[in-house]
Structure 1
Amino acid sequence: MSGLRDRRGPAGAGRPIYVEIDVASDMEALWRHTQQPKLHERWDLRFSEIDYLPKASSGDDQNFLYLTRIGFGLSIRGTGKSRAPNVSADGVRTSVLAFGADHPLSLIGRGGGYWRYTPLPDGGVRFVTRFDYRTRFGRAGRWLDRLLFRPLFGWATAWSFDALRLWLDRGVPPEESLLRAKLHALSIAVLSLCWAYSGLVPKLLYPAASGELDLLRALGWFPGIEAAMTSALGVCELLVAGTVAFTRSPRLLTLQAVAVCALTAAALTGTPALLYAPFNPFVLAMLMLAATFAARWTRKGLPSAKRCRRRPGSHSDKTATKGELV
């Protein structure tokens, strides 16, 4: 992994990944949490373990090993090296690094990039990374990288940067941020699946067998067009499922909770005997309202990749450092 490349990055690579965020913390705290391996691995989704190797002398590059767990008991191991940081006259620090993996499951071959720490006039630090890499597995690897891996890798980098910001600026440990994110995602998934199932199975696929038509007839609100209204309700519930899954706004969560209560009240008003069924609208409503509460409770303070800038702006570097290792 020796040698230098220009700002275009490794040959054959795609668009470089760029992430930038402003942190209110002081330079030394940010530097420590990004340069010390055991602190770094706590907030960075991309690495499960990072271990520095001994150096022969203080001026040598710092070699390190990293491990990334990808689930199902599988993990990818790789190697890297970083140069001694460059500190400019205006206090900007730049840490240049190279990385790569020969693991048979690794899509990344060799890559390089930098971390840049720029003091802000009003306090705090602008933390920037830019990196790129070669892919393996030929054309299939390049397409997989372009369509799936690179967007996910960029998102994971940005999400991790915001988790680091929350840790430094608000004292929220990364482990708590990750747990919150998992609980929020689970709550949203439960809500979306409940809405989707309710709209698709009993209303669109089996309206007669499920008793949905009988419920509308018992209400007496839509005489003669109960079948059409059942289908319309099913489509609306599918739309709500998709909207809840992809927008996650607190106002929407409140509105869908009101809709859950209204639909449950209407069903029990038309057919009170449903309240005694083993699995009834009231039980489903309680489940969905509990998921709504969990989604709203976990939403506050979640890390978000959207808080990071993903392209260099007028105030940021528009070129990579010429010292990138690859």
Structure 2
Amino acid sequence: MGLYIETRIRTDPDTLWARSQDPREHQRWDLRFTEIAPLPRTGDDEPDRFRYATRLGPFLTVAGTGTSAGERHRADGERVSALRFASPHPLSLLAEGSGYWRYVPADGGVRFLTGYDYRPRWGRPGRIADRWVFRPLMGWATAWSFDRLRLWCETGTPPERLRLHWLAETALRLLAPAAAALLAPPAAALAVLAAALLLPPSARTPAARRCLRTAPPRTAAPALLHTLPPAAPLPAAAPASPRES
């Protein structure tokens, strides 16, 4: 898989499973999505289907669909879910992809990890933009979201409030050096800048740096992923919102 993110969360497996598998809960902590909604299943043997959307601006939302399946009770004690996703929107750099989540029991909690990859569109320009801009941004957003989920599970602080914590701390780190540059002597201004860059984030502020970003050796996608069909097109019954036009 092209991207790998891992964190350790001090919580019980059922709580973590619910907050990551329920679309209503998932969209609360995952920075990559504005909306995640289940779609009707076409048959009892079909995997779960969902629609996702990401707002890129006040009047632009990019949407796509996905299929997912999970194994909640395994002999090794792990839980696994896998998904395939695709977006037909011409402005979505992400054309289609697949990934998985693993829930590995650990002392006092759960190792929660993901691996995923995707195919960018727009030809060679898209591949360049993906390599240098979009893929690093997606990795950061996934890790930041995992840490927000961790803090939600461990402290009980709602994801919405955690986002406000992060915005406030980010604003402080940006404004303090600017104010010092205008009002303080150069040496003091440099000290404030160094503090803004080097001080670790607050324990109550989500931070991507807390997550592992390199896959351990011999990491492989679960077999469940290979049983999933490709994501289906957006159904006619769920047309794109006016923001997507």
Q: Note whether the superposition's TM-score is higher than 0.5.
A: yes
How far residue 100 of structure 1 moved from its aligned partner, in angstroms, is 1.4
Instruction: State the partner residue of 2:212.
Output: 309
Structure number having the greater helix percentage: 1
Structure 2: distance between partners of 1:195 and 1:72: 33
* 1:175 equivalent in structure 2: 160
1:52 is matched with which residue?
A: 38
Identity within the alignment, %: 43
The reply on whether 1:75 has 2:26 as its aligned counterpart is no
Instruction: Name the Cα RMSD after superposition.
Output: 2.1
Partner of 2:233: none
| SS across alignment from 1:192 | helix
Shift of 1:80: 0.7
8 Å Cα contact 2:39/2:50 also seen in 1: yes
Q: Which moved more, 1:304-313 or 1:36-45?
A: 304-313
1:132-151 equivalences under 5 Å are 132-151=117-136
How far apart are 1:71 and its partner, in Å? 2.6
Q: Structure 1 residue 187 and structure 2 residue 155: aligned? A: no
| 1:143-186 superposed Cα distances (whole Å, 9 cap, x missing partner) | 11111111111111111111111111110111111001001111
Does 2:49 correspond to 1:63? yes
TM-score (ref. length: structure 2):
0.84
Look up the equivalent residue of 2:156 and give its one-letter code.
G
Does the CA contact (< 8 Å) of 2:70 and 2:79 recur in 1? no
2:194: which partner in 1?
243
1:56-135 to 2 correspondences below 5 Å:
56-85=42-71, 87-120=73-106, 122-135=107-120
Q: Residues 75-127 of structure 1: CA distance to partner in whole angstroms, max 9, x if unpaired?
A: 2111111124364311211111011111122110100010111112x332111
| DSSP-derived class of the 1:83 partner | strand
Distance 2:196 2:41 in 1: 49
CA distance in 2, matches of 1:246, 1:144: 27
Q: Which amino acid aligns with 2:4?
A: Y
Q: Per the alignment, in what secondary structure is the counterpart of residue 96 of structure 1?
A: strand
Corresponding residue number in structure 1 for 2:28: 42
In the alignment, what sits opposite 2:19?
33
- Contact 2:101–2:113 under 8 Å retained in 1: yes
- TM-score normalized with structure 1 length: 0.65
**What CA distance in whole angstroms lies between the structure 2 residues aligned with 1:95 and 1:309?**
20
Give me the whole-angstrom Cα distance separating, in 1, the residues matched to 2:136 and 2:16.
25
Verify: 1:319 aligned to 2:241, yes or no: no
d(CA) in 2 for partners of 1:142, 1:238:
40
- In 2: Cα distance, 1:247 partner to 1:46 partner: 26
**Kept after mapping to 1: 8 A contact 2:173/2:197:** no
Instruction: Note the C-alpha offset of 1:300.
Output: 3.9
Structure number with higher strand proportion: 2
> Whose radius of gyration is greater, 1 or 2?
1
What CA distance in whole angstroms lies between the structure 1 residues aligned with 2:174 and 2:162? 18
SS class of match (1:180): helix
For residues 194 and 61 of structure 1, the distance between their equivalents in structure 2, rounded to whole angstroms, comes to 54
Residue 212 of structure 1 aligns with which residue? none
Cα separation, 1, equivalents of 2:109 and 2:7 = 11
Structure 2 stretches of 5 or more lacking a match? 231-245
Q: What SS class does the counterpart of residue 116 from structure 1 fall into? A: strand
